[in-house]
Amino acid sequence: MNIYIIIGAIGLVTITLGVINNNRRTENILYIIGGICLAIYSIYLKNTIFTILQIVFTIAAIYNIIKIKSNKKK
């Protein structure tokens, strides 16, 4: 089996786990891991729109983690 398909499947499962998770920080970590995996898969597919979507999705999850950490410091 193609390694990129496996990476894509891992991304799909990881994001799904993030959706059903109740902890916001864990949810965002799963989104980041899944987003990176799906970005790799979309680059392999040479799908520009999906690649950009995954990059934006991953950056948004990273931003949320930073925002959560800064709110805890206050």
Pull the structure tokens for residue 4: 């990129």
Res 72 pLDDT > 80: no
Q: What pLDDT, on the 0 to 100 scale, is given for residue 1?
A: 82
Number of compact structural domains in the chain: 1
Helix (H) / strand (E) element for 33: namely helix 24-45
CA 42 to chain CA centroid, Å, is 13
DSSP string, 1-27: --HHHHHHHHHHHHHHHHHH---HHHH
Average pLDDT in the 62-74 region?
86
Instruction: Evaluate if residue 70 carries a pLDDT over 90.
Output: no
The predicted pLDDT at position 68 comes to 86
Domain limits for position 27: 3-73
pLDDT digits (tens, 9 = 90+) for 11-46: 999 999 999 999 999 999 999 999 999 999 999 999
Amino acid at 18: G
